[in-house]
Amino acid sequence: MSLPLDLRDGYQRFRQQRFELESERYRKMAKSQNPDTMIIGCADSRVDPGAIFSAGPGEIFTVRNVAAIVPPYEADGGLHGTSAEVEFAVNALGVKNIVVLGHGQCGGVAASLALAKNQPVGVLIEPWVNILAPARDELLSRMSGATPEDLQRAMEFQAVKLSLSNLRTFPFVEEAISQNKLTLHGAWFSIGEAELRWWNSETDTFETLLPDLDGAG
Ligand SMILES: [Zn+2]
- Reported as a single tens digit per residue, the pLDDT across 48-105 is 999 999 999 999 999 999 999 999 999 999 999 999 999 999 999 999 999 999 999 9
pLDDT value for 212:
64
Q: What domain count does the chain have?
A: 2
Tell me, yes or no, whether 109 and 153 share the same domain: yes
Mean of pLDDT values over 164-191: 98
Buried/exposed 50-70: b ≥16 CB within 10 Å, e otherwise: eebbebeebbbbbbbbbbbbb
**What is the distance in A from the centroid of ligand 1 to the CA of 128?**
13
Tell me, yes or no, whether 16 and 56 share the same domain: no
Mean of pLDDT values over 150-165: 98
**What is the distance in A from the centroid of ligand 1 to the CA of 64?**
9
Tell me, yes or no, whether 156 and 180 share the same domain: yes
**What is the distance in A from the centroid of ligand 1 to the CA of 30?**
31
**What is the distance in A from the centroid of ligand 1 to the CA of 49?**
12
**What's the distance, CA 36 to chain centroid?**
16
**What is the distance in A from the centroid of ligand 1 to the CA of 4?**
25
Tell me, yes or no, whether 71 and 23 share the same domain: no
Tell me, yes or no, whether 19 and 126 share the same domain: no
Tell me, yes or no, whether 17 and 79 share the same domain: no
Band of the pLDDT at 215, cuts 50, 70, 90?
A: low
Tell me, yes or no, whether 20 and 39 share the same domain: no
Asked whether the predicted pLDDT for residue 217 surpasses 50, the reply is no
Tell me, yes or no, whether 62 and 121 share the same domain: yes
1: containing domain? 1-31
From CA 196, how far away is CA 212, in angstroms rounded?
12
Query: What's the CATH code of the domain at 172?
Result: 3.40.1050.10
Mean of pLDDT values over 138-142: 96
Tell me, yes or no, whether 103 and 163 share the same domain: yes
From CA 159, how far away is CA 39, in angstroms rounded?
15
**What is the distance in A from the centroid of ligand 1 to the CA of 111?**
10
Tell me, yes or no, whether 1 and 85 share the same domain: no
Q: Is the distance from CB of 109 to CB of 152 less than 8 angstroms?
A: yes
**What is the distance in A from the centroid of ligand 1 to the CA of 138?**
20
Strand ranges, E, within 147-189:
183-189
**What is the distance in A from the centroid of ligand 1 to the CA of 136?**
15
Q: Is the distance from CB of 35 to CB of 95 less than 8 angstroms?
A: yes
**What is the distance in A from the centroid of ligand 1 to the CA of 186?**
15
Tell me, yes or no, whether 48 and 25 share the same domain: no
**What is the distance in A from the centroid of ligand 1 to the CA of 133?**
16
**What is the distance in A from the centroid of ligand 1 to the CA of 115?**
16
**What is the distance in A from the centroid of ligand 1 to the CA of 164?**
16
Asked whether the predicted pLDDT for residue 209 surpasses 90, the reply is no
Tell me, yes or no, whether 154 and 107 share the same domain: yes
From CA 38, how far away is CA 32, in angstroms rounded?
16
